[in-house]
Amino acid sequence: MKTVDPLLAAPLRAAPAEVFLIDAATLALVDVNATARANLGYDAAALATMRAADIAPSLDDAALSALLAGMGETEGDDIGEQRCLRTELRRADGSSYPAKLTFLRTRRGARALLLAIGDDLSPEQAASNALARALAQAEARFNAIADHTPGLVYQFTLDADGRHAYPYLSEGCAPLLGVQPGELQRDPDLFLRLILPEDRKGYLETMAVSKIALSSWNWEGRIWIDAWKDVKWINLRATPHAGPAGAVQWDGIMTNITESKNEQRDVLRSRARLAELTEHIEQVKEQERARIAREIHDDLGGNLTAIKMALSMLSSRLPPDQPGLLEKAAYLDDLVDRTIEAVHRISLDLRPSTLDLGIVAALEWQAREFEKQAGVACIFRSAERAHDLERALAPDHAAALFRIFQEALTNVAKHAGATRVTVTLRRQRQHLTLAICDNGRGITPADRLKPASFGLRGMSERARALGGTLTLSAAPGGGTMVTIKIRLAPPPPARSES
C-alpha cells in the first residue's frame, strides 16, 4: 500500500497547525502532518493517493499554477516568498471548513515542493457569524422600536459646505409628514419646504446654534401637509455629534404636538376670558362700592346730621329740673356722634375719598391708617407727584392697585408678625412699581400652595388684570417683599404748533 513519503521535518510534523507538503510539478500530496490528518479525517494511505485539489476543491490546477508562477524560484533548500489565500478544505465525511493557507516554495534536492500551512478559521467564522446574527437582531429590535415609536425617529447630517441628508428615517415619516422616507431621502430640502414660511427662520436659527455649540436641538413649529390640506405642529428634539471635515450629525425624534398646542391655545383663551371677567367684576365691585359709599355718606350722613341738629334743639328746650331727660338727650347726642363716625368709617372702607386725590395720596393715607389700627410702623416713600400719575394711571387701575396694597397690608397684619413695613412707590419709564417690604417671619413655598390662600391669588389676579405682575420674594434681612409692577399708559403725543 502506498503511503505519503515522510519528508516533513520533525517540528512541522508535530506542529498544532495543519501542514501540507505538495509536489510543485504534479500537485500531489507528498506529506501531511498529524494535525491535518485529524482535521480532514483521512489516514496517511488515503492522502498518499490524493492531490491538493482533492482536499481543496476550489484550488484547481490553474489557480495553483498561477500562484506558483507568482512566487518565483528557490535555490537549494531555501524557502521562497510566501502567498496566502482563503479557501474551503473538505473532510473525508464530505463536510467543509474554512481555512487560510500560507504557501511557500521549497526544494528537497532536485525536487521542487510547495509547503502549505493551514489555519482552521472555523472559530473565527463562528464568531463572525454570531456577531452578524447579534447585529441583525439588534438592528431588528431597533427598527421595531423606532417604527412603533409615536413619531419619526431620524438621523440628519449637515456638511460644512451646507449639503444635508437623512441617512435614516423610521416608518413614522409618512404618518407624521405625509411623505415616504425614500422621497425625503432623495430630496432633503422637502422638509424645509413643508415648514410654514413664518416658522422657517426659527428652525434654521436653532439648527445653527446647535451646530456651533453642539448642544441639544429643540424646535417647535408648524408644517403644511399638502396631502391632507392641514397644518400640524411638530416638536423636534435631537442630539448633535461632530463628524469628519466639520460635518454634524443629529440623532433625534419628531413628534406631533398639534393636540397639545390646541389645548394650550384653549387654556390661554380661557385664561384671557377669565382675566377679562375678573377685571370686569372688580370694576363693577368698585363702582358698586363707590355708589354705596356715596349713598351712605349722602343719605345716612345727611339724616344723621339733621337728627343731631333736631336733638340739639330739643335738648336746649328741656326744663333744667328734669335731669333724667337731660341725661337721655346727652346719651342720644353721643350715640348720633358715634353713628356718624361709623358711617364715615364705613364709607372710607368702601371707597376712600383720598382716591379722588390720586394714587399717591391714597397709598399714603392707607399706610397711616394701617399704622394706627395694627400698631405696626409703616413707612411710605415716593418721589412721584400725584398729578404726574393721574394721566398715566386710569382711575380703575388706581383703585385696583390700592386694593392690592390693602390686601398686602392685611396679610402682614394677620401672618407676618412684623414690627415694621416699608412701602416704596417709584416710576421707571412706562412702568409703576409698588414694593411692600416687612421684617416678619417670611413666607415659605408651602404657604403659597395652601388651598385657601385666596388673598395671594386675588392679588396676583388683580395685577394680571392690570397687565402687570406680582412677585413674592425674601426681603433683605428677613421677612417678605411683595412687588407689583404695572405698565402705565403711554403719554399723549405732543401737539405741534403751526
Can you give the pLDDT at residue 249?
Answer: 95
Q: Specify the pLDDT at position 223.
A: 94
Asked if residue 360 lies in contact with residue 384, where contact means CB atoms within 8 angstroms, the answer is yes
pLDDT above 70 for 73: no
11-20, 231-240, 354-363, 375-384: least confident range: 354-363
Closest listed residue to residue 465, CA positions, set 283, 275, 271: 275
* pLDDT over threshold 80, residue 347: no
Question: Looking at residue 2, what is its pLDDT?
Answer: 47
Whether 304 has a pLDDT exceeding 60, the answer reads yes
Q: How far apart are CA 408 and CA 375, in angstroms?
A: 16
Non-local CB neighbours of 198 within 8 Å, separated by 6+ positions: none
343, three cell numbers: 358711617
Segment 154-200, tens digit of pLDDT = 999 999 998 999 999 998 889 999 999 999 999 999 999 999 999 99
Which of 216-230, 244-258, 271-285 has the lowest average pLDDT? 271-285
**What is the pLDDT averaged over residues 197-220?**
95
Confidence at residue 446, expressed as pLDDT on a 0 to 100 scale:
64
Mean of the per-residue pLDDT values for the chain? Answer: 83
pLDDT-derived band at 146, boundaries 50, 70, 90: low
Q: Characterize the bridge pairing of strands 377-382 and 420-428.
A: parallel
Residue 141 CA: distances (Å) to CA of 149, 338, 475? 12, 87, 57
- Residue 452: predicted pLDDT: 55
Residues forming beta bridges with residue 255, ordered by sequence position: 235
pLDDT of residue 1: 42
Highest mean pLDDT, choosing among 101-105, 237-241, 285-289, 378-382: 237-241
Average pLDDT estimate for 49-67: 82
In this predicted structure, what is the pLDDT of residue 252?
Answer: 92
The pLDDT value recorded for residue 453 is: 59
Most confident of 317-326, 348-357, 419-428: 419-428
Tens of pLDDT, residue by residue over 425-459, are 888 878 888 888 888 887 776 666 565 556 677 78
Looking at 15-93, which runs of residues are DSSP E strands?
18-23, 29-32, 82-90
In the predicted model, is pLDDT for residue 4 greater than 60? Answer: no
* Predicted confidence band of residue 79 (pLDDT cuts 50, 70, 90): low
Q: Reply yes or no on whether the pLDDT at 498 is more than 50.
A: no
Higher per-residue confidence, 322 vs 480:
480
CA–CA gap between residue 407 and residue 390 (Å, rounded): 23
Residue pLDDT, tens place only, 395-405: 778 888 888 88
Q: Count Cα atoms within 13 angstroms, Cβ side, for 176.
A: 27
pLDDT in tens, 85-132: 888 899 999 899 999 888 888 887 778 888 888 888 888 888 888 888
Give residue 449's pLDDT: 57
How does DSSP classify residue 246?
A: G
Of the candidates 213, 247, 193, 152, the residue with the CA atom closest to the CA atom of residue 203 = 193
Q: Tell me whether residue 318 is exposed, middle or buried, using C-beta atoms within 10 angstroms of its C-beta: 0 to 12, 13 to 18, 19 or more.
A: middle
- Distance CA(172)–CA(228), nearest Å, equals 16
| Residue 327 or residue 194, greater confidence | 194
